[in-house]
A and B are shown apart, each in its own frame.
Chain A
């Protein structure tokens, strides 16, 4: 099974900061990677898929990149509403796996 290692587990940043979250897969997942945002009491929301494609309606300050085993989510200019937990998810064959999550707080 493919394991996903996400880091950091938490981070605190200021409004306007550039924020980066990373996920490393234990094997090449060929860009079969998605990123989700989850706010308390809500289901996860798809942000990006296929490693770098922005989901419909997602602000352009969110972007992602990567290949093979290493992937990155970037928020270019942090906004107060970005306070949430972020998860990566590989869907390269089954079983899928989620990363452990990154809790993002606003300073």
Chain B
């Protein structure tokens, strides 16, 4: 059974760094892209970027390029989303999802709250 299990909710202050995770199981991690999707409170879905864990090839949305870093550790079947300096506007739910063309399997989401 394919599963994507994300790390738990985070509460951070502006300027702090954060890395959230997405652990995959039930399939060969290195043969599918993994994507990250943002959903701000009460808003729609925003495509942030994707990574191919086999070689860490990464593609970003222009809206998120330079704002976040997507990475993966294929030895532990885990993808990451990293911020070096959070802003209040980063408050959102972040989903990881497996890409097989479309996003066929999704993590449960990680709520990130950034507040002073």
**Is B86 close to A, CB under 8 A?**
no
* A94 near B50: Cβ-Cβ < 8 Å: yes
A65 lies within 8 A of chain B by Cβ: no
Distance (whole angstroms) from the CB of B40 to the closest CB of chain A: 12
Judge whether A34 is part of the interface by a CB distance below 8 angstroms. Answer: yes
Chain A residues, Cβ within 8 Å of B32:
none
Q: Known contacts being A96-B47, A98-B45, is A44 close to B101, with CB within 8 Å?
A: no
CB atoms of A95 and B47 under 8 A apart: yes
When the two chains form their complex, are residues A98 and B47 in contact, meaning their CB atoms are under 8 A apart?
yes
Interface size on B, residues (CB 8 A): 23
CB neighbours (8 Å) of B106 from chain A are 43-45
Check if B61 sits within 8 Å of A95, measured CB to CB: yes
If A43-B95, A44-B95, A91-B99 touch, whether A98 touches B44 (CB-CB below 8 Å) is: yes
Q: With contacts defined as CB atoms under 8 Å apart, how many contacts are there between chain A and chain B in the complex?
A: 63
Q: Compute how far the CA of A101 lies from the CA of B106 in the bound complex, rounded to whole angstroms.
A: 18
Is B104 on the interface with A (CB-CB < 8 A)?
A: yes
The CA of A38 and the CA of B37, in the complex, are separated in Å by: 13
* Interface flags, A73-89, vs B, CB<8A=1, else 0: 00000000000010101
- Once the chains bind, are B103 and A34 in contact (CB under 8 Å)? yes
In the bound complex, residues from chain B placing their C-beta under 8 Å from that of A1 are 62
Within 8 A of A (CB), among B76-106: 95, 97, 99, 101-104, 106
Chain A stretch 9-49: residues in CB contact (< 8 A) with chain B: 32, 34, 36, 38, 43-46, 49
User: Which residues of the partner chain B approach A34 to less than 8 Å between Cβ atoms?
Assistant: 101-103
A99: min CB distance to chain B, Å: 8
The interface residues of chain A lying within 8 Å CB-to-CB of B13 are none
Once the chains bind, are A87 and B44 in contact (CB under 8 Å)? yes
Give me the interface of A with B, judged by CB distance under 8 Å: 1, 32, 34, 36, 38, 43-46, 49-50, 55, 85, 87, 89, 91, 94-101
3 closest residue pairs by CB, A with B: A34-B102, A43-B106, A49-B102
Sample 5 A-B pairs with CB under 8 A, ordered by A number.
A43-B95, A43-B109, A95-B61, A98-B47, A101-B45
